Amino acid sequence: MPWNLLIFPLAAGYYILTRFYVFKYRQQRLDRQRLIFESILLGTIIACFLFSFRLLFEYLFPETLTVVSDAFPFKQKFTITSLLSLPLALGFTKIGNCFLDGKEWIIKAIVRVGNEMELLLENSFSNKELLQFTMDNNKVYVGWVKELPIPSLSSHVRIIPALSGYRTLEKQVVFNCQYLKVYSEYIKKGKIKNPEDLQTDLVLNVNNVVTVSFFDFELYEAFNTSD
């Protein structure tokens, strides 16, 4: 296969790595040099597969291959073989993603290569654990992570708030808004079945988050009782 035709398998490899759920979210957490290297590696594998398939097809159906080659105006050998890598990569990715759960692969990518904050967000999302967010303006929010942000495409996180307040000059946390009481009243009255129905979601800019930690009501009450 001429070297100039390798551009199509390389493009196919890049498309699969950046669009197929199995690789997409992990690649978004890696640097560009690593992505280029893995695209070349995958593109080479695709090229070898297509080249081997063509040789097998030529051996089994030589006359059919001649008819197909004559039907296209390409004079350079293996051009059609190389071009096939693009529609094959597109079809493989689109069909494959139909049978995969994107959220599941986001979680797997976070577990494998996520940073500490992403691991906390994933834990809250998967296990319904409360997290406490302290913002750079001293506002404090406690809530459950409603959905995981898509890596490298979103710098925000959506939460279902349970409490909100602020930190004093002495860095003590004061909660002045109790979302849980509102949720409880609405559920008792039969207006909603779960807190999500009230659409009280808060979207926090990750870049403005100073600290994130797990929040436990018993520990919070114990410390406040001591004070």
Domain 115-226: CATH architecture, name and number where available: Roll (2.30)
pLDDT in tens, 137-174: 999 999 999 887 765 556 789 999 999 999 988 888 88
Q: Which has the closest alpha carbon to 22: 91, 107, 85, 86?
A: 107
- Predicted local confidence at residue 154, as pLDDT: 61
Domain boundaries, the chain: 3-103, 115-226
Tell me the pLDDT tens digit for each residue of 201-216.
999 998 899 999 999 8
Q: Which residues contact 153 (CB under 8 A, 6 or more apart)?
A: 28
Q: What is the pLDDT of residue 74?
A: 61
Average pLDDT of 84-104?
92
Of 182, 208, 28, 47, give the one whose Cα is nearest residue 105. 28
What local confidence, expressed as pLDDT, does residue 2 receive? 60
DSSP 8-state secondary structure symbol assigned to residue 149: P
Average pLDDT over residues 20-38: 86
Dihedral, CA of residue 71, residue 75, residue 76 and residue 80, to nearest 10: -20
What secondary structure does DSSP assign to 59-91, as a single string? HH-HHHHHHHHHHS---STTHHHHHTHHHHHHH
Say which DSSP state 143 is in: E
